Amino acid sequence: MSDWMPLAVKFKGKCAECGNEIPQGERALWSKSTKAIKHVKCEAPASEKKEKMQEVPELDCFVCGRPAGCAECGFEADCDRQAVSQACICSQCLEDKQAFANYQQAFVEKARNVAKVKI
């Protein structure tokens, strides 16, 4: 039987399932017997999580068009790829010294294509 109970986090902690931080004030699950804490979304059984991940496609990098590397992303555990912007950036493009300028240029090019106007 599971003893996980929902609560509002009083002190930041580390999720027992995914290892990511759970900030103060966030809703989470706490186990009295193990004194562990985990994200509410980490409650789903591993098989259910795997099925969900297979349903959601890998995002493409907004700048270069290659796969964004969702599985390796530091925000992967918190990312709902069905709800987030399609404007993610891969780690290779993010490490470029001109990352922001490249991102802006990609945005302008995509806006031109959508609006079919000169910007």
- Its domain, for residue 24, covers 1-43
The predicted structure's pLDDT at residue 49: 46
CA distance 109 to 112: 5
The predicted structure's pLDDT at residue 37: 92
- Residue 48 falls within a domain, yes or no? no
CA distance 56 to 40: 19
Tell me: do 29 and 65 sit in the same domain.
no
- Residue 49 falls within a domain, yes or no? no
Contact indicator for 36, 58 with CB cutoff of 8 Å: no
Average pLDDT per run of 10 along the chain, which is 119 residues long? Answer: 82 89 89 88 61 62 86 72 75 91 90 72
Q: Tell me how many domains the chain contains.
A: 2
